[in-house]
Structure 1
């Protein structure tokens, strides 16, 4: 890609010492429906990490921190974030609760208190109190956050210095999965005009000639073509920044589906964790096939499915016309060669 796509923050950066960094962070991010939840669950099986699930989406406290990210003092931001992660929060410390070296609490009781807190707001402090445990510098903090804005990633990485995992899925699979979610009413849908205006703002935020050929003719495009442009807006700058960041790793969902055991070994080596039997067992359990669930929404978000079937569903979910519309936009993507089976 050209330099014009690079969202790297300009100007001076503040170097942090180990004393400024009480925790080692690992951040998984990527567009929705790209496998980030599945990877997060795999990595959460590591017995020494504390897992924070979509904090910038679910928690007002973490969102407030994110809002201060660009203008705040680096050391103060670092201190505040460590304080947030040290707490046990109903919004981001979610079941299931795999065995952890630092957790003494009974998992069944944690489940019970979480459920009570979900029903009665006044009971959430009880969940926070019982679930709290002291974390040390030896406890990695694993954060999974979907759709974290790429223009903010350089600043977040400057402040937290995480190992960054950018996860992506092929555009046909991701669009087909999102389309299925819309049919199940899992996503709120904006008006066409609001959608197009948001796309223009995103294109302008990257700057240069990024997707300039589409900017002024979005109104003329089909829904599938618009979704393909959105994929490029979300994925191309994320991949470029992750590749340029010295602690970054791009993970392709289809590679994880094809060989989960080998890929998770590579990922654990990247973050410096020892791969154990618990993680291998979870992978075996989660890939044996789709669980039959009566609730379609739970089935849609389930991590228990045959990954080889899941990654290829788009071939039957999308019509030939829909595939052709997506291909007309993706053909020029610098990332298209990451997948060998795209109908381009």
Structure 2
């Protein structure tokens, strides 16, 4: 890890060359509760893109492809992945089915078949058959995959050569949101021993002196301090790699909250898409304020909320003691300068 991480996009002089067999991919990734779903839905309003939602976490076929990522031939991996994306998958091709230039299927019928597949497993192949689309390099494929393992990103980018968007959120906001999810039983909780073992493996995978000062005293730390170390494990290597990748852009959740229209214009320019009225309309709708939903799960995962309120909730959600515990770990982070309002 370098001591200084530039908070803006960085480009190298070495340019990636697109193989003619490659499709046009854009990948959004980042830790959970960092705004990746909101950004994914914004970008899915582009009427020429195919949207794949959490493929590596939800679909066995995509998981199998990822398991071969490090060992299989690059060209074979490219062909297999293009085939996966051309198919319609009940687990990753989700409603709503907005108007798309390439889609000949009736959106209402797609939605009906999706619902039937939820009820009857045997009907899913009908959904897969009706929804499949022939893709070309003129059809951008947008992939949103939360918590994609950073050590695998270089290989994934070698194979797919995507436009990479690494999305991050300030540690106080992300930890407060995750705590709320656990309180609502919307997020899985691991035992402390499992948590610490996983953290040590992740620290060792980065190598060097990365977080060496914490590795052997994790057992002594509070749960909130452990969550702050996890934030550093997940975010710092992701930012480091994204900044060094020729086609990488780091997006800070709070920047998107402060100026959604301006930031999405920058993001569309980065991926080479033309920003349209449907995207502007969705941003206006999604930022108008929180919807009253009786289902707590839907409310927790909803993208319809006032972003300025959402990004500042941590200031009242976290106690002074919790904020102090987070600060004790984050003070040494090279990324702390990305946020001016952290209590450090």
Which of structure 1's runs of 4+ aligned residues deviate more than 4 A?
Answer: none
Alignment-derived partner of residue 19 in structure 1: 20
Q: Which residue of 1 aligns with 2:183?
A: 183
Give the CA deviation at 1:204: 0.5
Runs of at least 5 residues in structure 1 that lack an aligned partner in the other structure: 6-14
**Alpha-carbon distance in 1 for matches of 2:83, 2:128:** 14
Q: Give the Cα–Cα distance (whole angstroms) in 1 for the partners of residues 140 and 122 of structure 2.
A: 30
Once residues 20 and 53 of structure 1 are traced to their aligned partners in structure 2, the CA distance between those partners, rounded to angstroms, is 23
Q: Matched residues in 2 for 1:132 and 1:270: separation?
A: 28
User: What is the rounded CA distance, in whole Å, between the counterparts of 1:255 and 1:19 in structure 2?
Assistant: 35
Q: Following superposition of structure 1 onto structure 2, how do residues 27-46 of structure 1 map, counting pairs within 5 Å?
A: 27-46=27-46
> 2:85 & 2:106 partners in 1: Cα distance?
21
Output one character per residue of 1:272-298: Cα deviation in whole Å (capped at 9) or x when no partner: 000000000000000000000000110
Corresponding residue number in structure 2 for 1:161: 161
Match in the other structure for 1:147: 147
Q: Note closer, same or farther for the CA distance 1:122–1:16 as it changes in structure 2 (3 Å cut).
A: farther
Deviation per residue, 1:228-273 (Å, 9 max, x gap): 0000000000000000000000000000000000000000000000
Distance 1:260 1:176 in 2: 22
Structure 2 matches for 1:53-132, cutoff 5 A? 53-132=53-132
Note if contact 2:117-2:127 (Cα within 8 Å) is conserved in structure 1. yes
What is the CA-CA distance between 1:320 and the residue it aligns to?
Answer: 0.4
- Cα distance between partner residues in 1 of 2:224 and 2:208: 25
Inter-partner Cα distance in structure 2 for 1:115 and 1:98: 16
Structure 2: gaps spanning 5 or more residues: 6-15
Deviations 1:199-226 (A, max 9, x none): 0000000011100000000011001100
Matches within 5 A, 1:242-257: 242-257=242-257
User: Which residues of 2 match residues 267-282 of structure 1 at below 5 A?
Assistant: 267-282=267-282
Tell me the equivalent position of 1:327: 327
2:18–2:161 CA contact under 8 A, matched in 1:
no
Matched with 2:338 is 338
Deviation (angstroms), 1:133: 2.3
| Contact 2:25–2:163, Cα closer than 8 Å, also in 1 | yes
CA distance in structure 1 between the aligned counterparts of 2:41 and 2:169, rounded to whole angstroms? 17
Query: By how many angstroms is 1:20 displaced?
Result: 2.5
Corresponding residue pairs, total: 334
**TM-score, normalisation: structure 2:** 0.95
Output the aligned Cα RMSD: 1.4
What does residue 8 of structure 2 align with?
Answer: none
Distance in 2 between residues matched to 1:51 and 1:283, nearest whole Å: 17
Residue 166 of structure 2 aligns to a residue in which SS?
A: strand
Q: Distance in 1 between matches of 2:111 and 2:324?
A: 46
SS at match of 2:135: coil
In the other structure, the counterpart of 1:261 is 261
Q: How much does 1:17 deviate?
A: 4.9
Q: Distance in 1 between matches of 2:302 and 2:170?
A: 19
Give the Cα–Cα distance (whole angstroms) in 2 for the partners of residues 276 and 205 of structure 1.
42
